[in-house]
């Protein structure tokens, strides 16, 4: 019989509680103790400042990734020259340890929003480009030929046929870029370690406020999970014709 | 899915043009142009007054050579590579074993799946600074950082690969009275191969993020330290050279992985 | 190859077309054809012999390595309003309704929406799809999809209709129905049809002229003119004495190209 994953979560929560109660590690307080830390967390203005800062940089960075990434992906999809010139770099950065670049961004862009936004972009733009390109290159040949037969100009073929055809892949790319942007905004703040949630994490850790530290981990997890879940829902709605192609 | 995207390798002219029949321009030619263009833009941007912290390509290139010759790279990588390799090994082997067993064994699935999903989404990178308190400034900290960032990706993809076995192949196997072992070896694992390797690539990339994070945040040694130190003394050319070196090594490792996959499972020609 | 002279006007002709794909794969070799106006010409040949390639050359989608295509004596430069193509896989936009799909060609020419919809509805009715204009392609059967493709090709009112195995993606019964409907339609619409098929029966049943291509590289092996009376009842065509004989005759000359 398939048991519900809910009970599995309860089981792991129990394990956490047990380990915490045993006090084997000061770094891991019992789960029950963290409950109170949530209330403390939400009362702090520092938390809300961090939240707003995170939301802002996440939003700006992700939007830029999408707005810039899609046209680049389309260009690489329709022009084999653009593809040959850009694909090395896109594929390199798609799986490169972008984390290593963050220290270089700090002296250039300053220890504030700009660096975090740049980190978010560097984390999330490549997958938008790659997926958009994949969508464009897999547009059915016959649809493009159909456009040509009816005398469509190049731009009409691109806007009426190619881009709508590539929509399911573009949406998938956006979903994956949201996942990566979530990672990017947190990693960026943690490496900078002075601003946003990253700043809070390092403060709590250095003062051994472990309940708050874990409460914050859980809050950030729930926020990421919600955003990713929402985008997945959106994807299922919008890409209704993906299967019928 | 990210790992199902096929990377286009068309050599013909864009299909938006009328199909022309003729010789194709060589890919190598475009590669050279591509590198040249990027380096040129970097050079020009570096020479313009964007920021003193953004050196032109030529300076970074010279710093790169200098650091190779002076042994700075050797020293740093001697610190970074051993934990990286151990971490990668654990990530790859452990991730595949966990993912495959979770995919094959129902109770393991119930037990481990929620954890994997949580680990994939949670801000695990925030836990890395905590590792010093547990393991101190040691290679163990680095290895743990690598494993917690890389292994969930490998495991989840292996799991998905196992799950995505074509049901009619399983029915075929059952109708020929194949044993469970045979079904796993000849049907399930081969059909999961693509996803598993996609997961390995994601995991390797996560592992590199892990080692860099660990060395930036907790253990000031190796390549992360070289980046931080050079930023501190404002030798930005050296800092960029170090970053380029780690990006290049990550890229190289992933390419090797691809070569390995092609060698292990030669693509059938159609 | 000898060309028999025919009384009707030649609307389209190809002059020694050669198509060589990459890696020196010769798809078509020295194909010269005359297509009579207002007749149905079938291009018949084994799979892979270059039928689609030939049709795309005529449509202007592929530039031949050498040779030319002339419509009413004028060499073509690419796709043009005098030729419309019906696709084997229908080539319908999955996100557009039947009405929008049928109106695509008109929209591309900048015909205003009201006029476009009127014309589209006229042809939707003519192909028997009235009542389905707001459906999406995935809600339609294969036969209905191809009717949509046909209606779209008809809207732009070109004299020449090119069809690439238009009925091969639908089931046998639907294919017969579509064939009959096509013949009925051609009684109303005065069109020149060039029709690619791999089915001998279909070619003999529908065509006034059957061009038989040899196996790869495709070149014209033979041209036959089914002497079949299409003026009367459509149901009677398959019962005419010449029908089965001609099918057999074509099969025996085509057999050697099929491995
Ligand atoms: N774009 C292309 N590039 C290379 N070879 C092609 C291309 N299109 C078709 N061919 C080859 O040309 C030959 C003729 O193809 P096609 O015209 O599609 O044949 P048919 O429609 O008669 O089945 C086939 O061998 C096919 O593999
Ligand atoms: Mg064909």
Would you list the domain boundaries of chain A? 64-243
Whether C6 has a pLDDT exceeding 60, the answer reads no
User: So what's the pLDDT on residue B25?
Assistant: 60
Q: Using a CB-CB distance cutoff of 8 angstroms, which residues of chain C are in contact with residue A150?
A: 79, 84, 104-105, 108-109, 156
**Residue numbers in C near B17 (CB within 8 A):** none
Mean pLDDT calculated for residue range A13-18: 87
Q: Residues of A numbered 185-224 whose beta carbons fall under 8 angstroms of chain B's beta carbons: which are they?
A: 186-187, 190-191, 193, 197-198, 201-202, 205, 213, 216-217, 220-221, 224
pLDDT in the model for residue C222: 85
Q: How far apart are CA A74 and CA A166, in angstroms?
A: 9
Which residue is closest in CA terms to ligand 1's atom 18? C52
Task: List CB contacts (< 8 A) between B37 and chain A.
Answer: 85
Q: What is the domain count for chain B?
A: 2
Which DSSP symbol is given to C170? Answer: S
* pLDDT attached to residue B129: 86
In short, whether C52's Cβ falls inside 6 Å of ligand 1 is yes
pLDDT at A67 > cutoff 90: yes
Q: Provide mean pLDDT across the span A67-85.
A: 92
Mean pLDDT of C15-37: 87
Determine the pLDDT at residue C215: 80
Quote the pLDDT of residue A240. 61
b/e burial code for range B55-90 (CB count within 10 A of at least 16 → b): bbbebbbebbeebeeeebbeebbebbeebbebbbeb
Q: How confident is the model at residue C53 (pLDDT cuts 50, 70, 90)?
A: very high
Q: Which of B21, B24, B26 to mutate to test the interface with C (most CBs of C within 10 A)?
A: B21
Q: Which of B125, B160, B158 is CA-nearest to residue B144? A: B125
Residue A151 has pLDDT above 50, yes or no: yes
Tell me which chain C residue has its CA closest to the CA of residue A240: C95
Q: Starting from the edge strand earliest in sequence, which strands make up the sheet with C25-36, in order?
A: C25-36, C10-21, C66-71, C74-75
- Is the confidence at residue B4, as pLDDT, over 60? no
What is chain A's mean pLDDT, rounded? 89
- Does B19 contact C at CB distance below 8 Å? yes
**Structure confidence at residue B52 as a pLDDT band (50, 70, 90):** confident
Q: How far apart, in whole angstroms, are the C-alpha atoms of residue C61 and residue A149?
A: 8
Within chain A, what is the greatest distance between any pair of CA atoms?
A: 76
Select the residue from A143, A146, A242 to test the C interface by mutation, using most C Cβ atoms within 10 A.
A146
Residue partners of A128: CB distance under 8 A and separation at least 6: A65, A66, A69, A70, A73, A170, A173, A174, A176, A177
Is residue B11's pLDDT more than 70?
no
> Are residue B81 and residue B108 in the same domain, yes or no?
yes
The encoded tokens of residue B183 equal: 């079904």
> How many whole angstroms separate alpha carbon C151 and alpha carbon C126?
8
Domains of chain C by start residue, with CATH: 10-82+158-257 (3.40.50.300)
Judge whether residue C5 has pLDDT over 50: no
Residue B214 pLDDT exceeds 70: yes
pLDDT for position B1: 35
pLDDT digits (tens, 9 = 90+) for B21-47: 444 567 788 888 999 999 999 999 888
Round to whole Å and give the CA distance between B85 and C47: 54
Please answer yes or no on whether B21 and C78 come within 8 Å at the CB atom.
no
Q: What is the DSSP string of C233-249?
A: -GGGGGGSHHHHHHHHH
| Any A CB within 8 A of B162 CB | no
DSSP notation for chain B? -GGGPPPP---SPPTTSPB--SPPPPHHHHHHHHHHHHHHHHHHHHHTTS-TTS--HHHHHHHHHHHHHHTHHHHHHHHHHHHHHHHHHHHHHHHHHHHHHHHH-HHHHHHHHHHHHHHHHS-GGGGHHHHHHHH-SSHHHHHHHHHHHHHHHHHHHHHHHHHTS-HHHHHHHHHTT--HHHHIIIIIHHHHHHHHHHHHHHHHHHHHHHHHHHHHHT---HHHHHHHHHHHTT-HHHHHHHHHHHHHHHHHHHHHHHHHHHHHSPPPP-
Question: Which has more pLDDT, C252 or B42?
Answer: B42
pTM score of the predicted model: 0.86
Query: What are the Cα distances from residue B90, in Å, to A79, B93, C92, C155?
Result: 41, 5, 50, 64
Strands C209-213 and C220-224: antiparallel
Q: Which atom number of ligand 1 is nearest to the Cα of residue C56?
A: 17
Range of lowest pLDDT (A70-84, B3-17, B123-137, C44-58) = B3-17
**Which atom from ligand 1 is nearest to the alpha carbon of C23?**
4
pLDDT score recorded for residue B2: 38
Summarize pLDDT for B225-265 with one digit per residue, the tens. Answer: 999 999 989 899 999 999 999 999 999 999 998 898 888 87
Please give the pLDDT value at position A27: 81
Give the Cα separation of A211 and A28 in Å (integer).
8
Task: Look at residue B5 in the predicted model and tell me its pLDDT.
Answer: 35
Distance A93 CA to ligand 2 centre (A): 41
Nearest CA in chain C to B23: C22
Position C7 pLDDT exceeds 90: no
In chain C, residues with a C-beta closer than 8 Å to the C-beta of B21 are 19-22, 62-63, 65
CA of A214 from ligand 2 middle (Å) equals 63
The per-residue pLDDT for B12 is: 41
DSSP notation for C46-70: -TTSSHHHHHHHHHTSB--SEEEEE
Mean predicted confidence (pLDDT) in A111-132: 94
Mark whether B114 and B219 lie in a shared domain: yes
pLDDT band at A2 (very low <50, low <70, confident <90, very high): low
Instruction: Let me know whether B25 and B155 are in one domain.
Output: no
Query: Are B123 and A137 inside 8 Å of each other by CB?
Result: no
User: By the CB < 8 Å criterion, does A95 face chain B?
Assistant: yes
Percent of chain C with pLDDT over 90: 34
**pLDDT classification of C41: cutoffs 50, 70, 90:** very high
Structure tokens at C22: 């990459």
**pLDDT tens for each residue of C133-184:** 999 998 898 889 999 999 999 998 899 999 999 888 788 888 888 888 888 8
pLDDT, chain B, mean: 84
Ligand 1 atom closest to the Cα of residue C19 is 12
Instruction: Provide, rounded to the nearest whole percent, the portion of chain C with pLDDT above 70.
Output: 95
The rounded percent of chain A whose pLDDT value lies above 70 is 96
Does residue A24 sit at the C interface (CB-CB below 8 Å)? Answer: no
Q: Cα(B17)–Cα(A154) distance, rounded to whole angstroms?
A: 9
Cα atoms found within 13 Å of the Cα of residue C255, Cβ hemisphere only: 7
pLDDT of residue B270: 42
Give the structural domain span for B99: 57-269
- Output the pLDDT for position B123: 86
Best residue among C20, C48, C257 to mutate for probing ligand 1, ranked by most atoms within 8 Å of CB: C48
Same structural domain, B30 and B77:
no
Residues less than 5 Å from ion ligand 2, measured at CB: C 52
| pLDDT at A3 exceeding the cut of 80 | no
Q: Which residues on A lie below 8 Å from C157 (Cβ)? A: none
- Where is pLDDT greater, at C25 or C106? C106
Fold adopted by A64-243 = MetI-like fold (1.10.3720)
Examine the pLDDT at C113 and tell me if it is beyond 60: yes
**A27 vs C106, more confident:** C106
Query: Where residue C256 falls among pLDDT bands split at 50, 70, 90?
Result: confident
Mean pLDDT, chain C, rounded, equals 86
Lowest mean pLDDT among A106-115, A204-213, B179-188, C202-211: B179-188
Residues B261, B140 share a domain: yes
In angstroms, the CA A183 to CA B206 distance is: 11
**Tens digits of per-residue pLDDT, B59-109?**
999 999 999 999 999 999 999 999 999 999 999 999 999 999 988 887 888
Q: Is residue C73 scored above 60 in pLDDT? A: yes
Please tell me the least confidently modeled range out of A33-37, B221-225, B255-259.
A33-37
**Phi-psi domain of C157 (left: phi exceeds 0; alpha: psi -120 through 50; beta: other):** left
Say yes or no: B245 and B199 in one domain.
Answer: yes
- pLDDT tens-digit profile of B158-170? 999 988 887 788 8
């Amino acid at each position: 019989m398939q048991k519900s994953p809910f009970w599995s979560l309860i089981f792991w929560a129990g394990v956490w509680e047990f380990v915490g109660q045993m006090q084997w590690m000061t770094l891991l307080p019992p789960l029950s103790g963290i409950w109170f830390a949530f209330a403390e967390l939400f009362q702090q203005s520092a938390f809300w400042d961090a939240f707003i800062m995170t939301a802002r940089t996440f939003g700006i960075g992700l939007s830029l990734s999408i707005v810039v990434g899609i046209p680049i992906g389309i260009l690489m999809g329709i022009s084999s020259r653009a593809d040959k010139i850009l694909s090395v770099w896109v594929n390199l950065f798609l799986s490169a340890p972008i984390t290593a670049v963050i220290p270089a961004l700090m002296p250039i862009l300053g220890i504030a929003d700009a660096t975090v936004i740049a980190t978010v972009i560097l984390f999330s733009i490549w997958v938008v480009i790659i997926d958009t390109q994949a969508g464009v290159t897999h547009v059915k040949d016959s649809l493009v030929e159909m456009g040509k037969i009816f005398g469509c100009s190049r731009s009409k073929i691109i806007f009426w046929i190619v881009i709508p055809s590539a929509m399911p892949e573009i949406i998938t790319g956006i979903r994956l870029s949201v996942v990566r942007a979530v990672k990017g905004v947190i990693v960026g703040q943690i490496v900078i370690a002075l601003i946003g949630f990253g700043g809070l994490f390092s403060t709590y850790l250095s003062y051994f406020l472990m309940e708050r530290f874990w409460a914050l981990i859980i809050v950030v997890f729930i926020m990421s999970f919600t955003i990713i879940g929402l985008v997945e829902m959106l994807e299922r709605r919008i890409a209704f014709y993906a299967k019928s192609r | 899915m990210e790992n199902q995207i096929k990377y286009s390798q068309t050599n013909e002219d864009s299909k938006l043009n009328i199909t022309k029949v003729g010789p194709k321009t060589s890919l190598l030619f475009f590669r050279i142009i591509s590198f040249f263009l990027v380096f040129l833009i970097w050079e020009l941007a570096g020479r313009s007054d964007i920021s003193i912290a953004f050196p032109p390509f030529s300076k970074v290139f010279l710093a790169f050579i200098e650091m190779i010759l002076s042994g700075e790279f050797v020293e740093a990588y001697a610190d970074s590579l051993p934990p990286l390799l151990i971490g990668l090994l654990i990530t790859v082997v452990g991730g595949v074993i966990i993912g495959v067993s979770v995919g094959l064994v129902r109770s393991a699935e119930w037990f481990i799946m929620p954890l994997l999903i949580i680990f994939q989404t949670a801000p695990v990178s925030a836990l890395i600074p905590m590792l010093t308190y547990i393991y101190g400034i040691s290679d163990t900290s680095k290895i743990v950082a690598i494993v917690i960032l890389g292994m969930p990706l490998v495991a989840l993809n292996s799991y998905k690969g196992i799950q995505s076995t074509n049901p009619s192949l399983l029915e075929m196997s059952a109708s020929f009275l194949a044993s469970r072992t045979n079904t796993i070896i000849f049907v399930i694992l081969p059909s999961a191969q693509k996803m598993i390797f996609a997961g390995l690539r994601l995991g390797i990339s996560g592992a590199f993020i892990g080692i860099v994070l660990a060395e930036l945040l907790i253990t000031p040694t190796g390549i992360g330290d070289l980046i931080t130190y050079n930023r501190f003394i404002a030798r930005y050319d050296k800092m960029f050279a170090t970053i380029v070196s780690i990006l290049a090594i990550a890229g190289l490792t992933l390419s090797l992985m691809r070569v390995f996959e092609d060698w292990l499972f030669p693509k059938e020609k159609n | 190859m000898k060309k028999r002279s025919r009384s009707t006007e030649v609307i389209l002709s190809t002059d020694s077309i050669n198509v060589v794909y990459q890696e020196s794969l010769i798809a078509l070799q020295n194909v010269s054809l005359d297509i009579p106006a207002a007749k149905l010409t079938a291009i018949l040949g084994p799979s892979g012999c270059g039928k689609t390639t030939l049709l795309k050359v005529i449509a202007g989608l592929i530039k031949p390595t050498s040779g030319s295509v002339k419509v009413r004596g004028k060499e073509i430069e690419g796709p043009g309003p005098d030729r419309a193509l019906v696709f084997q896989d229908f080539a319908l936009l999955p996100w557009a309704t039947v009405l929008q799909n049928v109106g695509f060609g008109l929209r591309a020419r900048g015909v205003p929406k009201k006029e476009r919809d009127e014309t589209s509805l006229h042809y939707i009715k003519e192909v028997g799809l009235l009542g389905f204009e707001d459906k999406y392609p995935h809600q339609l059967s294969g036969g209905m999809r191809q009717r949509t493709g046909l209606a779209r090709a008809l809207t732009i009112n070109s004299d020449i209709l090119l069809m690439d195995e238009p009925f091969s993606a639908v089931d046998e019964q639907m294919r017969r129905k579509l064939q009959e409907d096509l013949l009925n339609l051609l009684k109303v619409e005065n069109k020149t049809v060039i029709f690619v098929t791999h089915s001998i029966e279909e070619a003999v049943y529908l065509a006034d002229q059957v061009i038989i291509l040899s196996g790869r590289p495709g070149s014209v092996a033979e041209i036959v003119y089914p002497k079949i009376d299409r003026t009367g009842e459509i149901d009677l065509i398959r019962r005419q004495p010449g029908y089965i004989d001609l099918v057999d005759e074509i099969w025996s000359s085509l057999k050697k190209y099929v491995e």
